[in-house]
Amino acid sequence: MAELLAAGPSGVAGAVARAMERSAPGSGASWYGGDHTDFRGGVFLREVVGVQVVVQEGGTAVPEAMTGLPPRPGGFTGRDRETEDLLRALDPDGAQSAAAPVASVSGLGGIGKTALAVETAHLARERGWFPGGILFIDLHGYDREPVTADRSLRTLLHALGIPPEHMPTTTDERAALYRSTLAVRAGERGGMLVLADNASSAEQVRPLLPGDFRHRVLVTSRDRLPQLGARLLPLDELGTREAYELLDRALRIADPHDGRVGDDPGTTGRLASLCGHLPLALQIAAALLAADPGKPVRELVAELAEAHDRLDQLDDGERSVRAAFELSYRRLPPEQARLLRLLALAPGPEVSDEVVAALVSADRPPVRDQHALARAHLVERGRTRGWWRLHDLVRVFGAGVVARAEGDAARARVLRHYLERARAADARLKPRTEDDEGTGPFRSREEALAWFDAERAGLVAAVQWATDRQLAADAVRLAGALGEYLDWRRRFDDSVTVCGAVCAAARRAGDEAAEAAAWNRTGTALRGNRRLREAYDAHRRAHDLYDALGHDNGRAMALSNLGAILGDVGQVDDAVDAFRLALGLFRRTGDRHSEAGVWNNLALILRKSGRVDEALDALRSALGLYRETGDRPREGRARHNYAVALNARGRTAEAVTACLDSLDICEEFEDWHGAARTLYALGLVHETAGDAERARVRMTQAADAYERAGSPKEAEQARRAARLTGPAPTGTPAPGAPPDRTADSGPPGPRPPGVPGNAGP
């Protein structure tokens, strides 16, 4: 030992090598390497693990930590795949670990990194992988005073048998002695595993890396630490099944007869969701339940769901999710901390780079700060590049630390950004003349639809900010810019949500015109979801509000929509009367485009009631008005209805031509649902003409188009019809078309209870 210390940093390795050649007399034991006693050949009465007593010069006994591992985590579950990945990374004989002798487990605070690392280290020891022993050190990387390299080296050297009085004085000297001692250990007994828990930076870990390839290092951190050249193993939240198992196992450890989790699996799934599938939160929830054996799971779920701040509830007195996140948050530089706070306010489950830029009031997203938060696992990458998301509980934490003024300003900026972009995209979806091409941010209809598709969840969530009086005006305007898109993509649930927010805001503001328009749109969306009773009531409320305001155009729209519902439930005469009233009002106001829509809807009712020639006349009026107003997409839908009416009249050749014209328009405007309906109609036309093979082909194509449009039930109906299509005896009815939600919906359904027979005012 004296020789080692005297050698200095540059001569330590040589001194160790010389010391290894020495031996001392004695029976069954020898000095080996200067600081270890060789017990090879000795007889032991039981397994020896944990501590070896090293006798140094002068006779002082120093404990040496063969394994300082914490106990195995109780109730560890749900990490089978991750455990296997980590074992492969540590396997001394594996090619993966040889290429990267350092493995780094990273993840959000409370995600279970230490539990995984400790469990895997125990499994590795059971396999006999590290005969030299296992060293464990908690670096407290996120505490106010993280463990320095100097302190960590002193701790590990002491665990390896170096007494305090022989400890080198500088960090470099300690690092050299640490590496040399590990080299000796590798030669004597084999490789060691060094488990460095809770590191916050590569600088904390780098001095602990052995120089000998036979050793392995396992690091846990809330940051990814790519600078170490390590095998990186990011840890995500648990899946639903794994979260369920963790809760059940934790409760049964406390009481083997506690079956609350198994007794109510649905509520347990809700509990796991409220805990964000975060192991720490789940363990706290289990502890809260274990402390109150009579408490049903649903009661804890209600407490979490109704809490103003969910993190207040996820605290069992010793562990706290908020405290875990606070450790990470307070280490962030100011700009990163601000970004995290503002990201917590973002609408929708994911946020795009362009919305991030709006949140922070910048022309470009703060890319470096975003990536830094991602490395710290406080932000996660979204479904594609340029998109980001926050864990549910991190979002709750971030929203809890943002100042009200800061948050209000950020949400206002997002609304303004969304409104500007949505209006530009909406303009691309609506009919335009050749002289009105525009020069906005979207060069084509396809680009506008793609932007709407990508941002849809955030847009719908932002409209719900209409509950805030300061944001209500822009939120309502944004809702208006979404109407055409949501209708085109048949997002009826989203439409109901958007219109509900607008109705509430308009009622609160006393704006009856805006409320009437919102009720009208609500009814259309409800009809799309076949909620006919609710749809009728919504349109009736819109009609009454418009009537009180003397708003003829609004009354006409409501009457047309009431007529469509009355037709759905078989009240043909009342439906026709409502459409005739609407036509008169639209002619009075000069709204030619809306008049075309009424002619189209009237034609559907007339055809279904057997008045085919009248239906064809109505459709010719609709087609002429759509061409006049330049609405090609709706012209395509009207051509589909025209083809169906022609086929009903026995004019199959003209029906085929009308179908093909409609199909061209649908494909031009990516109306895949319209294309599916038209392909199906084309199949029926071919079947009427006796061409069963072409009918089957078209119906099969219709099924594929329905799948593309996100309508699996209608796709299956089309496939079933294709299988049934074939030569049939005269008078056998053709298979019915899949139900359509915006046009011809097949045979009339039951009348909603309480629907009056007169649609007029």
Say if residue 11's pLDDT is above 60.
no
Q: Quick one: tokens of 213? A: 């390839």
Among candidate residues 211, 398, 388, the one with its CA nearest the CA of residue 309: 398
C-alpha 404/C-alpha 415 separation (Å) is: 16
DSSP 8-state assignment for residue 629: H
pLDDT band with cut points at 50, 70 and 90 for residue 747 = very low
The answer to whether 283 and 251 are in contact (CB under 8 A) is: no
For 518-537, the pLDDT digits (tens) are 999 999 999 999 999 999 99
CA distance 381 to 350: 9
Identify the band that residue 504 occupies on the pLDDT scale cut at 50, 70 and 90.
Answer: very high
Place 726 in a pLDDT band, splitting at 50, 70 and 90. low
User: What sign for the dihedral angle of Cα 159, 160, 165, 169?
Assistant: negative
Q: Is residue 647 within a helix (H) or strand (E), and if so which, with residue range?
A: helix 632-648
**What average pLDDT does range 177-196 have in this prediction?**
93
Q: What is the tens place of the pLDDT at every residue in 265-319?
A: 999 999 999 999 999 999 999 999 999 999 999 999 999 999 989 999 999 999 9
pLDDT at 445: 85
Q: Would you put residue 372 in left (φ > 0), alpha (ψ -120 to 50) or beta?
A: alpha
Pairing of strands 133-138, 380-381: unpaired
Question: Of 669, 679, 662, nearest to 714 (Cα)?
Answer: 679
**pLDDT score recorded for residue 749:** 31
Residue 18 pLDDT > 60, yes or no?
no
Using CA atoms, how far apart are residues 281 and 393, in angstroms rounded to an integer? Answer: 9
3-state DSSP assignment of residue 293: coil
Distance CA 587, CA 581 (A): 10
The string of pLDDT tens digits covering residues 373-421 is: 999 999 999 989 999 999 999 999 999 999 999 999 999 999 999 999 9
Residue 93: C-alpha distances to residues 128, 160, 216 (Å): 12, 24, 11
| Backbone phi, psi, residue 662, to 5° | -65, -40
What is the SS3 assignment for 198-242? EECCHHHHHHHCCCCCCCEEEEEECCCCHHHCCEEEECCCCCHHH
User: Which of 51-55, 548-552, 734-738 shows the lowest per-residue confidence on average (mean pLDDT)?
Assistant: 51-55
As a whole number of angstroms, the distance between CA 412 and CA 417 comes to: 9
Hey, which residues does 53 pair with through a beta bridge?
A: 63
8-state DSSP, 195: E
pLDDT of 731 over the 50 cut: no
Could you tell me the pLDDT band of residue 3, with boundaries at 50, 70 and 90? very low
pLDDT at res. 660: 95
d(CA 37, CA 566): 96
Axis crossing angle, helix 469-488 with helix 492-509, rounded to the nearest 10? 150
Say which residue the tokens 């906005």 belong to.
Answer: 440
For the segment 93-116, what is each residue's pLDDT rounded down to a tens digit? 887 777 789 999 999 999 999 999
User: Using an 8 Å Cβ cutoff, are 132 and 210 in contact?
Assistant: no
User: How much is the pLDDT for 669?
Assistant: 85
Of the candidates 731, 730, 700, which has an alpha carbon nearest to the alpha carbon of residue 718?
700
The pLDDT score that the predictor gives to residue 437 is 55
Mean pLDDT in residue range 554-581: 94
- Report the C-alpha gap between 503 and 542 in whole angstroms: 11
| pLDDT tops 70 at residue 734 | no
The whole-angstrom separation of Cα 182 and Cα 214 is: 10
456-503 per-position pLDDT tens digit: 999 999 999 999 999 999 999 999 999 989 988 889 999 999 999 999
pLDDT recorded at residue 94 = 83
For residues 183 and 203, is the Cβ–Cβ distance under 8 A? no
Fill in the amino acid letter for 78: G
To the nearest whole number, what is the mean pLDDT of the chain? 85
Tell me the pLDDT band of 244, cut-offs 50, 70 and 90: very high
Say yes or no to pLDDT of 21 above 50.
no
% of the chain beyond a pLDDT of 70: 85
Compute the residue count for the chain. 761
Alpha carbon of 707 to those of 61, 511, 697: distances in Å?
76, 41, 16
Q: What is the DSSP string of 314-374?
A: SB-SS-BHHHHHHHHHTTS-HHHHHHHHHHTT-SSSSEEHHHHHHHHT-SS--HHHHHHHH
The dihedral of CA 481, 484, 488, 494: what is its sign? positive
750 has pLDDT over 60: no
Rounded Cα distance, 484 and 422, in Å: 11
Distance CA 212, CA 545 (A): 82
Q: Please report how the helices 2-20 and 171-188 are oriented relative to each other, as an axis angle in degrees rounded to 10.
A: 30
Q: What is the mean pLDDT of residues 583-589?
A: 94
Helix (H) or strand (E) holding 649: none
Provide the pLDDT confidence category of residue 544 given band limits of 50, 70 and 90: very high
Provide mean pLDDT across the span 50-57: 36
